[in-house]
Amino acid sequence: MTLRDIAYALGLSVSTVSKALRDSYEISKDTKERVIAYARTNHYLPNRMAKSLKEGKSGSIGVVVCSIDNSFVSRMLDGIDGVCAQAGYDIVIMQSKESLVQEKSCLKQLEARGVEGILISPSAETIGFEHLLALRETGMPIVLFDRISERFESDQVGIDNYHAAFQATEHLLANRYRRIAMLNIGLDIPFARLRSAGYLDALKKKHLTYGKQLIRPCWPDTGETLKDRVRASIQSLFELAEPPDALFTATDQLSTLSLSVLHEMGHRIPEDIALIGFSNTELADVLTPPLSTIYQPALEIGRLAAEKLIGLISGRGLSEEYETVILPAQLHIRDSSRPGVKVQVNG
């Protein structure tokens, strides 16, 4: 079904049909309704490629995420998709797999496809942002979401990573845990560094200064899975002369993998070790035990980031200064971090 087919069937010109489908003021209401009804009944779909060539716009937005295999990222993508669809944009989703090389490849492919803007949650290996700066200098609008960073000046949407980690650690301290270990994905990554800082400052507030000894970076070596690294990290913590009585995990994947590994190793939660971490899984309530989590407003992060980017593309969001939107995270307390029965060190 083409515009010409509709025009022939209704006895109209191709130009009139085209204008009617675009809701032009030049076409009467009755004619518009007639054209739209016929197009819908006959399953007419506009030729997006022809339209983009004519208008010089692709009608698509590129989205780069670390991975789509966890619920947190999926919810952010839902928020992005909802806003983009309403604004008439398609989204092209690509995964960096936590690799800077792969991230650069994704960006090149998206640029080659002619996307009108890019939403990106940087990979764990992205410490410098020269590649994003070079892309933006070509005129490409870019918005960072989730993994925001002060190292790259742009519009960004994320959470208060420092306060979320501080709040989680303070919760464990209030429940009489004192040797609190932390699994993080790397101390050089901006958002991970802020979560480590929040954790350490909560300990300092209680005059506990051993924190750095109990932090384990969980970045897999070649040929090793993330779960392998989590298992090795937890094993090394339990081999300490004074093993931890609680564990704070700094990402969604680390949280669920730690719960699995602790079960496999035969440790009871929270009797042997308490657990709390970042996680947006809807199954947190039915896990064994129900998992205490820091819940991030993933849908809202995606929604606001997409709105910002579309504003930049349309020119409505242009400003002399970049804006960083910080959303609050919520502490959801469940059985995995219920109060400990003893205090192992003073403080």
Residue 52 has pLDDT above 90, yes or no: no
pLDDT of residue 84: 94
pLDDT of residue 145: 97
Name which of 80-84, 132-136, 278-282 the model is least confident about.
Answer: 278-282
57: Cβ contacts below 8 Å, ≥ 6 apart: 116
Average pLDDT over every residue of 26-38: 92
Longest CA pairwise span in the chain (Å): 88
The confidence band for 55, taking pLDDT boundaries of 50, 70 and 90, is low
Residue 287 has pLDDT above 90, yes or no: no
pLDDT of residue 22: 78
105: Cβ contacts below 8 Å, ≥ 6 apart: none
Across 293-310, b (16+ Cβ under 10 Å) vs e yields bbbbbbbbbbbbbbbbbb
Q: With pLDDT > 70 as the criterion, what percentage of the chain qualifies?
A: 93
**Greater pLDDT, 103 or 186:** 103
In whole numbers, what is the pLDDT of the chain averaged over residues? 89
Q: 3-class secondary structure for 274-285?
A: EEEEECCCCCCC
pLDDT of residue 182: 97
Tell me the pTM.
0.80
Residue (of 85, 96, 344) closest to 240 by Cα position? 344
Q: What is the pLDDT of residues 228-262, one digit of tens each?
A: 999 999 999 999 999 999 999 999 889 999 999 99
Residue (of 275, 280, 305) closest to 147 by Cα position? 305
Residue 77 has pLDDT above 70, yes or no: yes
Cα–Cα distance, 103 to 100 (Å, whole number): 5
Average pLDDT over every residue of 69-81: 92
Q: Which tokens go with 6? A: 């509709």
